[in-house]
């Protein structure tokens, strides 16, 4: 979708997978076309219009080198909520992956409808990183709800979902999509009690995908454990991005007041 005014053009998309957790509408800015001196006016008018249309949240991702755009976003009331890394499989060490799979043997199965509740339970209870979790103005309950609702969206996209089984219980999962010999890992996690099985589980997933040309995913740079895991298997880290949020309407006013009062208290 496009928003055009006298200052330029913004290309954006609605993000309906956030609606249920936010109890309102959200969108993501994908690109901006404007002269440098007009960008603040363009984004400000866009945000004002979307606030009138009852949107609650606007997000965007930018390259860290885009300092001018980052400054503009800050001046328009956006905050940084995440730093992410694109991870690609160029250079995977399949000998190590096979060795790891043999050393840490685990039971990996295709999911069934009977597993959905357990997968949702892992999704809502085991994640701590990502733009909803790292946004100080989004309640933790909304972040966990978003993760749980995300499972239904993934299933509706006909993604492949593998589950990790231990003593007849589902203790982990990985969802991914394959297109044109490329796999995109969408979401995965393991119950905290069984985190020691992560390397064996991921090794099994990667062996299933070894005939593809590429395996990609996005991870939070705050998640040191997952960075270590992908590094262990030989993944390459590329294309760092900052994630930004702007809260709109009354929701924004409430959050900004809370933020101001909290930090004023710390400084008094």
SS3 sequence of 16-45: HHHHHHHCCEEEEEEEEEECHHHHHHHHHH
Mean pLDDT, range 210-217, rounded to an integer: 92
Does residue 249 register a pLDDT over 80? no
User: Could you tell me which of 2, 50, 61, 60 has the C-alpha nearest to residue 24?
Assistant: 50
Indicate if the alpha-carbon torsion angle 33, 243, 123, 173 is positive or negative.
Answer: positive
Dihedral class, residue 92 (left if φ above 0, else alpha if ψ from -120 to 50, else beta): beta
Class of residue 168 by CB neighbours under 10 A (exposed 0-12, middle 13-18, buried 19+): exposed
Does residue 251 register a pLDDT over 80? no
pLDDT, tens only, 126-169: 898 999 999 999 999 999 999 999 999 999 999 999 999 998 99
Does residue 250 register a pLDDT over 90? no
Write out the CATH class of domain 2-84+242-267.
Answer: alpha beta
pLDDT, tens only, 15-67: 998 999 999 999 999 999 999 999 999 999 999 999 999 999 999 999 999 99
User: Could you tell me which of 33, 243, 61, 16 has the C-alpha nearest to residue 135?
Assistant: 243
Sheet holding 79-88, edge to edge: 2-5, 8-14, 25-34, 55-62, 236-247, 79-88, 214-220, 182-190, 169-179, 160-166, 107-110
Banded pLDDT at 90 (limits 50, 70, 90): confident
Does residue 262 register a pLDDT over 90? no
Inter-helix orientation angle 198-208/94-103, to 10°: 130
Q: How far apart are CA 200 and CA 107, in angstroms?
A: 9
Paired residues of 245 in beta bridges: 59, 79
Q: CA-based diameter of the chain, in Å?
A: 63
The set of residues, in sequence order, having a beta carbon less than 8 Å from that of 118 and lying 6+ positions away, is 163, 169, 170
Indicate if the alpha-carbon torsion angle 72, 75, 78, 83 is positive or negative.
Answer: positive
List the single range of 222-231, 233-242, 255-264 with lowest mean pLDDT: 255-264
pLDDT at 252: 56
Banded pLDDT at 268 (limits 50, 70, 90): very low
Count of H-run helices and E-run strands, the chain: 9, 11
Does residue 255 register a pLDDT over 70? no
What architecture is domain 86-240?
3-Layer(aba) Sandwich (3.40)
Q: How far apart are CA 177 and CA 6, in angstroms?
A: 40
Does residue 257 register a pLDDT over 60? no
Banded pLDDT at 73 (limits 50, 70, 90): very high
pLDDT at 94: 87
Q: How many CA atoms lie within 13 A of 45 on its CB side?
A: 14
Question: Which tokens in the block code for residue 22?
Answer: 């936010």
Ranges of CATH 3.40.630.30 domains, the chain: 2-84+242-267, 86-240
pLDDT at 6: 97
Question: Model-level pTM?
Answer: 0.86
């Amino acid at each position: 979708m496009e928003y055009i005014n006298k200052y330029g053009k913004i290309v954006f998309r609605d993000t309906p997978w956030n609606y249920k957790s936010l109890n309102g509408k959200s969108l993501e800015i994908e690109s901006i076309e404007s002269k440098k001196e007009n960008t603040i006016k363009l984004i400000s008018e866009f945000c004002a219009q979307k606030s009138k249309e009852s949107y609650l949240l606007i997000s965007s991702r930018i390259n860290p080198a885009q300092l001018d755009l980052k400054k503009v976003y800050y001046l328009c009331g956006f905050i940084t909520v995440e730093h992410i890394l694109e991870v690609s499989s160029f250079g995977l060490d399949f000998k190590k992956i096979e060795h790891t799979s043999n050393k840490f043997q685990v039971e990996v199965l295709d999911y069934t409808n009977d597993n959905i509740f357990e997968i949702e339970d892992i999704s809502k209870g085991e994640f701590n990183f990502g733009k909803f979790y790292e946004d100080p103005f989004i309640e933790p309950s909304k972040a966990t709800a978003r993760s749980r609702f995300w499972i239904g969206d993934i299933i509706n996209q006909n993604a492949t979902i593998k589950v990790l089984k231990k003593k007849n219980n589902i203790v982990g999962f990985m969802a991914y999509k394959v297109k044109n010999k490329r796999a995109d890992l969408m979401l995965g996690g393991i119950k905290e009690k069984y985190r020691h099985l992560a390397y064996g589980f991921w090794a099994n997933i990667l062996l299933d995908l070894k005939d593809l040309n590429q395996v990609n995913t996005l991870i939070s740079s705050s998640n040191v454990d997952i960075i270590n895991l992908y590094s262990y298997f030989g993944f390459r880290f590329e294309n760092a991005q900052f994630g930004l949020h702007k809260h709109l309407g009354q929701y924004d006013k409430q959050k900004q007041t809370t933020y101001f009062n909290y930090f004023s208290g710390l400084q008094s």
